[in-house]
Structure 1
Amino acid sequence: MAAGDHVGVESVCAPSESMPAHPSSRMPSCLRQLGDGSGSTPLETAADLRSHLASVPDPRARRGIRHPWTALLTAAAAAVLAGAASITAIGEWAADAPQRVLALLGFRPDPLTGLIRPPHATTIRLALAAADGDALDRAIGDFLQERQAPAPGRKVIAVDGKTLRGSRTAGRTATALIAAMTHSGQVLAQRQTDHKSNEIPAFAPLLDDIDLTDALITADALHTQHDHASYLHERRAHYLAVIKRNHPGLHERVCRLPWSDIRLDHVDRTRAHHRDEIRRLKTAAFAHIDCPHARQALQVVRWRKDMGTGKLTIERIHLVTSLPPGAAASSELAAWIHGHWRIENQLHHVRDRTFHEDASHIRTRHLPRVMAGLRNLAIGTHRQDGHTNIAPALRHAARNHLRPLTALALT
């Protein structure tokens, strides 16, 4: 070719006349090579995120639709899996995505040029702000459950709430969410609480779509409610709940048990974060207690010494459980009590520190809730893939556009 000659995109990447109708097949052959070479072995997973996101209703009017609804949701999920913490970052990730990646996400090529135009950040913002948060969280929970085979033993689920502080406006309180997460770090469900109420009415709706047969639900003192205990019994599940002074009668009765005369069941000692901690567990069986279906009371005495200052603190925690004596070893009970707070450390803390959730000022309509759900998806997916530290996992996924798609079974 002589110097100064110019060849347009149409002449270099012209689509074939016999090109199939599928979006990824209609892509020009030269562009189909872009984004290839992730250099990693594809993950073996039967779960396809797109099939679950298809259940989320499209709220848009039919007129003027350019991008498929599921493609927009899938692109946002993949971008957050690569560390995008804002709508702007999601838009930038999509704008930088190669043509092959856009096709795999489900975006359609222009019939004239054969090129796929990525969605603008404003388009993504409007779409996510209108999304049904409950439907999206159900799709995410179903995907994570299908993606990983059930672990052996009893399913243990922690229930806890979190307030998205940056979502507060002059005329509206901050968005409050309640989540159910397995003790291994997998978010199964999430719901938004009524701004005029608290987490208590959202407890049963949160767990309605989860198989609770023989599961154990751990919760803090707010959810030590008679209605919750009866609900879990009807669902053939058990509970392990903390008792505090918000239930004075039950708290006084359990505290007055002759704990000094009760045999010590388990002792556990850990050293971490410049602290030396000893936890001592005792259990007492009950024929009857003022809590529906409660079979045992538990006392945990926690001795904690700060290795830097030498300060020693002693804390006593009392709990009740519907598990009958002998249904679980004392070491398991101790692990479940201590493991409940993983929902703070492995979910809420990660969303705050790694995704900067509390610093985020996303406030439009359903956006705070939707972004929290996408962060749950990213955290759960990376944990299922064996990443214990989410920040490096996000950086690894961000270095190649195909990696998030591989993790979500979109390749």
Structure 2
Amino acid sequence: MPSALDQLAQATAPAPLTDALCLSQFLETMPDPRGLRGRRYLLSALLAAAAASVLAGARSLTAITEWVTDAPSWACRALGFPVDRLTGSVSVPHPHTLRRLLVQLDGDTPDRAIGAFLAARATPAEPGLRAIAVDGKALRGSRTATATHVTLLAAMDHSGSVLAQCQIADRSNEIPAFQPLLDNIDLTGSVITADALHTQHTHGTYLRARGAHYTAQVKANHPGLFDRVRRLPWQEITLDHYERTRAHHRKEIRRLKTASFAHIDYPDARQALQAVRWRKDLTSGKLTIERVHLITSLPPGAVSGTQLAAWIRGHWKIENLLHHVRDRTFHEDDSKIHIGRLPRVMAGLRNLAIGIHRQDGHTNIAAALRHAARDCHRPLTALGLAG
């Protein structure tokens, strides 16, 4: 008579909900980099298993393969691993099988599938413009003796879901990757926020042609534009937004002024902005004042000063909600993975896990990973593989 554990292992998998969004549907559109000979496991099944393991807190290739090896039979069936017709047993891939596949992936197709899945899974946006932040991150642990570290450029909506990601070419910077990054995103009705590096005329023209607005930071890399915006009579312009907060042992005052501009040397620029932040550390008593100048294609009166201030401040959510979490929770910079496109593939899986947990209402990603790790149903349900 089989033991209780054996009975549990042989239990049938929970059936996916008929109307649930399933990650496998998006992974099945990817081209398989493997040869036809000896291909036993579906590409979508292997990638879904890797995604589920990262959703449960796996931080490395070893942790991913261990999670797949230890998964119960019903979970392996739900993932799409083959079942022997005679014995009913499920075939589980060898760890090297999964490793070889992840190394062979090109990086572009997984990121597109992940971005499309997160976008389709997201709660329908409220009426109005959608804010998307663009920023880069260096994977410091990917450095080798002959190559510099891998740098990735990501586009994330201000709620915390990564919509697209691409790798910066060697010996290049983020500027040439800006347009390819956004090519696969529907930008209609969006506002793109980025740092001063991306305040480029070609970027502004591209965004307006795609039906998107922008808020572009202006610094000394555009001396003429910066000097013209900075020298506006800001002292005579009335406030559009004022905010005073106290948290994390500091006081902050944020002020925003806007000025319509008839002729700005930037594509479709309609307003100039000045954001000023006073910050006082209550422990040391140190006071810092920061002034930032921006331009935007939004016409005067299109949105309130409060909304503009929220977008300016919200741009840095890509650091706090994404990059910081990948570093501190997933220990990304400590990872020594550097083979091929594998650093980017692992970053994409982390983006997927962070995005899903945030969409499900979790604000503490470390706690969400521990919650998912305690029950195999949870990561599979989140991916639409089980009900």
Tell whether the structures are fold-level matches, with TM greater than 0.5.
yes
The runs of 5 or more residues in structure 1 that have no matched partner are 1-6, 13-27, 37-41
Q: What TM-score does the superposition give when structure 1 sets the normalisation length?
A: 0.90
Q: Which residue of 2 aligns with 1:23?
A: none
**Residue 179 (structure 2) pairs with residue 201 (structure 1):** no
Instruction: Pick one of 303, 312, 316 that aligns with 1:337.
Output: 312
Q: 1:344 to 1:43 in 2, by over 3 A?
A: farther
Q: Which residue of 2 aligns with 1:186?
A: 161
Native 8 Å contact 1:57 1:132 kept in 2:
no
Instruction: Pick one of 224, 230, 250 that aligns with 1:249.
Output: 224
**Residue 340 (structure 2) pairs with residue 365 (structure 1):** yes
Q: Which residue of 2 aligns with 1:374?
A: 349
Q: Which residue of 2 aligns with 1:98?
A: 72
**SS at 2:176 equivalent:** helix
**Residue 51 (structure 2) pairs with residue 73 (structure 1):** no
Please state how far the C-alpha of 1:30 moved relative to its aligned partner.
6.4
CA-based RMSD of the aligned residues comes to: 1.9
Q: For 2:115 and 2:68, how far apart are their aligned partners in 1?
A: 24
Instruction: Pick one of 310, 315, 318 that aligns with 2:293.
Output: 318
**Residue 11 (structure 2) pairs with residue 33 (structure 1):** yes
Match of 2:186, as an amino acid? D
**SS at 1:94 equivalent:** helix
Please state how far the C-alpha of 1:349 moved relative to its aligned partner.
0.3
Q: For 1:259 and 1:31, how far apart are their aligned partners in 2?
A: 69
Cα deviation code 1:247-271 (max 9, x no counterpart): 1111111111111111111111222
Q: What TM-score does the superposition give when structure 2 sets the normalisation length?
A: 0.95
**Residue 204 (structure 2) pairs with residue 229 (structure 1):** yes
Match of 2:168, as an amino acid? T
Q: For 1:278 and 1:325, how far apart are their aligned partners in 2?
A: 24
**Residue 107 (structure 2) pairs with residue 133 (structure 1):** yes
The runs of 5 or more residues in structure 2 that have no matched partner are none
Please state how far the C-alpha of 1:282 moved relative to its aligned partner.
0.4
Q: Which residue of 2 aligns with 1:394?
A: 369
Native 8 Å contact 1:254 1:297 kept in 2:
yes
**SS at 2:137 equivalent:** strand
Instruction: Within 5 Å, give how 1:283-322 maps onto structure 2.
Output: 283-322=258-297
**Residue 331 (structure 2) pairs with residue 353 (structure 1):** no
Please state how far the C-alpha of 1:66 moved relative to its aligned partner.
2.6
**Residue 82 (structure 2) pairs with residue 108 (structure 1):** yes
Cα deviation code 1:269-301 (max 9, x no counterpart): 222222211111001100011111100000011
Match of 1:33, as an amino acid? A
Please state how far the C-alpha of 1:170 moved relative to its aligned partner.
1.2
Match of 2:70, as an amino acid? D
Instruction: Pick one of 104, 110, 122 that aligns with 2:96.
Output: 122
Native 8 Å contact 2:213 2:297 kept in 1:
yes
**Residue 136 (structure 2) pairs with residue 161 (structure 1):** yes
Q: For 1:397 and 1:344, how far apart are their aligned partners in 2?
A: 24
Native 8 Å contact 1:34 1:98 kept in 2:
no
Q: 1:170 to 1:391 in 2, by over 3 A?
A: same
Cα deviation code 1:214-235 (max 9, x no counterpart): 2100000000000000000100
Name which one, 1 or 2, has greater alpha-carbon Rg. 1
Q: For 2:18 and 2:8, how far apart are their aligned partners in 1?
A: 28
Q: For 2:250 and 2:103, how far apart are their aligned partners in 1?
A: 43
Native 8 Å contact 1:166 1:359 kept in 2:
yes
Q: Which residue of 1 aligns with 2:379?
A: 404
Cα deviation code 1:370-390 (max 9, x no counterpart): 000000000000000000110
Match of 2:118, as an amino acid? L
Please state how far the C-alpha of 1:307 moved relative to its aligned partner.
1.1
Match of 2:247, as an amino acid? A
Q: Which residue of 2 aligns with 1:46?
A: 20
Native 8 Å contact 2:243 2:254 kept in 1:
yes
Calculate percent identity across the aligned residue pairs. 64
Please state how far the C-alpha of 1:111 moved relative to its aligned partner.
4.6
**SS at 1:299 equivalent:** strand
Native 8 Å contact 1:136 1:373 kept in 2:
yes
Native 8 Å contact 2:193 2:214 kept in 1:
yes
Q: For 1:201 and 1:43, how far apart are their aligned partners in 2?
A: 42
Please state how far the C-alpha of 1:34 moved relative to its aligned partner.
7.2
Q: 1:170 to 1:45 in 2, by over 3 A?
A: farther
**SS at 1:316 equivalent:** strand
Q: Which residue of 1 aligns with 2:56?
A: 82
